[in-house]
Amino acid sequence: MKFSKRMICLFLTLMLLGAVLALPAYAAESDCIQGIAFVNATSLRMRSEPSLSGKVLKSAAKNEVVVLLAKEGDWYKVNYNLTVGYMHGDYLKTAAKENAELGYGKVTASSVNLRQKPTTASASLGTVARDSKCYIIGVNDGWYKVISGSKIGYIRSDYLALTEAPYENAASANSPKFFRLGKSTGVTPSAAALNGTSSNASGSAGVSVSGSAIVAEAKKYLGAPYVAGGASPSGFDCSGFVYYVLKNLGLSVSRTPAAQFVNIGTGVSKDNLQPGDLVFFITSSSGNVSHVGIYVGNGQFIHAPNSRSTVSYSNLTTGYWSQHYYGAKRVG
């Protein structure tokens, strides 16, 4: 049987089309956000289209934060306090990488990987199901840095849709490199805020303890040596110290600083610290919470600093620890 060249070409075209349709669909990199931007004008109007003739939807004040969704000529398509519109690029200072508290995002894909770093080549920390809530705490070249459950990782921004404004608790001016959608600074909420509830550390019987009891227990271990991974009087690391103190008071808590910050208690501002509050710090270039201590009052906290020291007091109001302070949680 002979086939004409036309029939052969048609057959091959259909085969190729079928193969293409069978491929899984992936979002294009161009669908990812371009970062955030700070308003660089006394007041900047957001319009309904990328033109001065567009309807004015909102006005943003100087240094407020917007999410950059796309660039169209001299204009940016932006999300400003959950309203999408256009702002002129001449009045925006852009940042592709930044700690930025943008609010709650909902997963739009059937399942996405939570990555350790902002790249598909990075190890997966687990998967996050469709419609799951994540709290967005940063942007990095088209990826969102998020809190998901007790983990902090990265999800491609084209798989998350902003759904709720940032959590308003524990706003603090003490983290100058941390910004909030529509505002200037902020700190991250506990994971329980994702479900609209507070999450206090508690024992199986709902144990509750006072701040003074936490401080009294912590003081028992002043002078104990530092041991990486340690969680006993023979040697503590920072989170092991907090874990051990609270465990002795009947409270069940996570083991690492980042997980403790996500899962324990309710946020408090630095100006409202009380004895027994847990204080958290970012001490590494990763941008994650990496150190924790127990506030004792008068600007002092107890912690297990490092291998060159023992469990001891440090000053929260000046010097290194003041510069690296991130936020605080109240357990009781």
Query: Active-site residues: which are they?
Result: 238, 291, 303
Q: Tell me how far apart the alpha carbons of residues 88 and 75 are, in angstroms, rounded to a whole number.
A: 4
Residues 6+ apart with CB under 8 A from 149: 191, 262
Place of tokens 């008071």: 249
Residue 7, Cβ density class (10 Å: 0-12 exposed, 13-18 middle, ≥19 buried): exposed
For the stretch 233-236, contacts whose Cβ atoms lie closer than 8 Å and that sit 24 or more positions apart, written own/partner, are: 236/304, 236/311
Measured CA distances, 177 to 220, 229, 307 (Å): 35, 29, 28
d(CA 22, CA 16): 10
| Residue with the two structure tokens 């567009």 | 54
Task: Characterize 170-199 residue by residue with b for buried, 16 or more Cβ atoms within 10 angstroms of its Cβ, and e for exposed.
Answer: bbbebbeebbbbbbbbbbbbbbbbbeeeeb
Instruction: Calculate the CA dihedral of residues 137, 327, 284, 63 and round it to 10 degrees.
Output: 50
**Radius of gyration, alpha carbons of the chain:** 24
